[in-house]
Structure 1
Amino acid sequence: MKFIIDSLVTAFFIFMFSAARFNNYYFALIAGLLLEFITTVAHNFFHLKDNWRMFLFDLSTLSTRDWRISHALSHHIYPNTIYDFEISGFEPAFQFLPSKNKSFLYRILLIPKICFFMSINLHLEWVKSLIQVYRKERQFYIPDLFPIFQLVAMVYINGSFWMALKLWLAIHVTANFILHFTALQAAHHHPHIFHEGDSYPNDKDWGVLQVIATRERGEAFFNGPLFLIAITFGNHSLHHLFPTVCHSKLFLFQDVFLETCKEFGINYQPQELNPLKHLKGFWYCLKNKTPNKDVPYVLKKNKNKM
């Protein structure tokens, strides 16, 4: 994982500086894609003990300090429930939980809202955090300024503030859009996945919740190359069960995980879904009004394949 993220960071700076030097939007788009990869891989490092690589997450307009709270103490403990900030934080614009409040207008505006929201949301959160620092409502940390440092370097190389700003925005809008797209349909939203309001098993075990609230997007994201798993939030169920274990070591748990699932009557099949099916399920959840009154899919004894 260290080699992967170090290589991505090196490539990111090469393309970012090249975009500024040659006024090249193609280089900026590639830099944005690399920044999204960095942000996703750095997520692995802020789950670990303090280390300098976790701050590579802050190269985007996100904050390691904030995410260690909202992500680790909310999403990882209460996935797909009202206590999950990565569910409630998107409401009312995007409602992943089944609700009768999803109007016709809400549903027809989903695509425009997603295109707009995914592009600028993280910028707005970053600006809000800087305003809070200015008002002394929030403690200042050097990583808060990482995006500004990038802009200053690009202005220095390019010589034009406005051109550098446009290239900088192209980089971060690209990274933000792809990050939202990847993260929001990574492993949590599909009609076979538990959402608050659905029928819940009698067993209130925390581990059971992690498994019924996550699914893999196919065999490649479970047993595939580490690079693919690292940049796509792969091995997601195992990550939820063992969040402080580096992604590079999660494969060591796979056999015993599948055996334990079988022992407790959980039919966990990594290959049953693929990215396209998961994407369709993501859209279904955004529009769905009706809670699932059946038992969670992986707990059914006799299931038909999708």
Structure 2
Amino acid sequence: MAALEPYLIFTPSVLRYYVHHFASVYIQLLAGILMYIEQAKYFIRLCMGLATFKLTHLIVYAEIPVLVYLSGSVSAGVWLWAVIQATASWVFINLSFVITTHHHDEIWHQGDTTISGDFGLLQAEATRDRLECVHSPFAMYMFGDHVLHHLFPCVDHGYLEVLYPVLLQTLEEFGVEATLLRYSMWESVKGFARQTVREYEHHISTIARRSKVE
């Protein structure tokens, strides 16, 4: 989130400027260079004494001599490294923010109201599953079983689908009706675009409580 601010604003109550209405467009241009922006910010903070030096931050640069050796040219090696980093940055931003179900105008964001204060139920309101990837071998990479991932973040993604019966049984035991919505990739992209310009708070109502059956 911090890497995308102030380029993108997801909190409904935060003031947006006119340029933010084009966020879903220019984020595609920024996505490829955000890695370089964050690295520059880190080194600036380091020089100002606001950050702590860690050797792990240099791991990404260890690729350069390897690529120079493999390509047989310093310029070619550095260029190849830059392309790899830009591509990885672009893919990461799109997978994590645009086509996943973290940011959609129907998903709970800070400032929205909800009928539930329960942590587990809020996880279901703050995330969605990807329609094409539920119960799929690619679920881990495309956020298929996303709600279960947020409920059980330490469980191997390959085992999440077997937890659906347990989740539904638990909801029934506590008298909760929950609609686990699933969005297609295209719907996720459209919802992301709407969320970046949403300036109003709304009520999330994908969960309803009923009297517990004794």
Name the TM-score, length of structure 2 as normaliser: 0.83
Kept after mapping to 2: 8 A contact 1:239/1:247: yes
Q: How many residues align?
A: 206
Kept after mapping to 2: 8 A contact 1:100/1:290: no
1:262 to 1:222, Cα distance in 2 relative to 1, 3 A: farther
Once the two structures are superposed, residues 69-106 of structure 1 have per-residue CA deviations (whole angstroms, 9 ceiling, x without a partner) of: xxxxxxxxxxxxxxxxx2x5533221112136223332
1:108 to 1:251, Cα distance in 2 relative to 1, 3 A: closer
| Whole-angstrom CA distance in 2 between matches of 1:262 and 1:281 | 30
| RMSD across aligned positions (CA) | 2.4
Describe the SS at the equivalent of 1:266.
Answer: strand
Partner AA of 1:253 in structure 2:
L
Deviation at 1:210, TM superposition (A): 0.9
Deviation at 1:131, TM superposition (A): 5.7
Deviation at 1:126, TM superposition (A): 3.0
Question: What's 1:63 paired with?
Answer: none
Kept after mapping to 2: 8 A contact 1:133/1:140: no
Q: Which consecutive residues of structure 1, in runs of 5 or more, have no partner in the other structure?
A: 1-85, 302-306
Task: Determine which of 89, 104, 108 is the counterpart of 1:194.
Answer: 108
Question: What's 1:269 paired with?
Answer: 180
Q: Which consecutive residues of structure 2, in runs of 5 or more, have no partner in the other structure?
A: 210-214
| Whole-angstrom CA distance in 1 between matches of 2:177 and 2:108 | 14
Question: What's 1:12 paired with?
Answer: none
Question: What's 1:123 paired with?
Answer: 36
1:224 has 2:132 as partner: no
Once the two structures are superposed, residues 168-213 of structure 1 have per-residue CA deviations (whole angstroms, 9 ceiling, x without a partner) of: 1111111110110110031222222111222221x31111111110
Deviation at 1:283, TM superposition (A): 0.5
1:212 to 1:134, Cα distance in 2 relative to 1, 3 A: same
Q: Which has the higher strand share?
A: 2
Partner AA of 1:222 in structure 2:
V
Question: What's 1:278 paired with?
Answer: 188
Question: What's 2:212 paired with?
Answer: none
- Percentage identity across paired residues of the two chains: 27
| Whole-angstrom CA distance in 1 between matches of 2:172 and 2:34 | 41
Describe the SS at the equivalent of 1:94.
Answer: coil
| Whole-angstrom CA distance in 2 between matches of 1:277 and 1:262 | 29
Deviation at 1:160, TM superposition (A): 1.6
Q: Which has the higher helix share?
A: 1
Question: What's 1:106 paired with?
Answer: 20
| Whole-angstrom CA distance in 2 between matches of 1:266 and 1:125 | 42
Once the two structures are superposed, residues 15-63 of structure 1 have per-residue CA deviations (whole angstroms, 9 ceiling, x without a partner) of: xxxxxxxxxxxxxxxxxxxxxxxxxxxxxxxxxxxxxxxxxxxxxxxxx
Task: Determine which of 231, 238, 250 is the counterpart of 2:160.
Answer: 250
1 or 2 for the larger relative contact order (CA 8 Å, sep ≥6)? 2
Kept after mapping to 1: 8 A contact 2:96/2:102: no
- Matches for 1:7-18 after TM superposition, within 5 Å: none
Task: Determine which of 94, 98, 107 is the counterpart of 1:181.
Answer: 94
- Matches for 1:53-72 after TM superposition, within 5 Å: none
- Matches for 1:71-220 after TM superposition, within 5 Å: 86=1, 90-99=4-13, 101-108=15-22, 110-112=24-26, 114-129=27-42, 137-141=51-55, 143-185=56-98, 186-201=100-115, 203-218=116-131, 220=132
Deviation at 1:267, TM superposition (A): 2.6
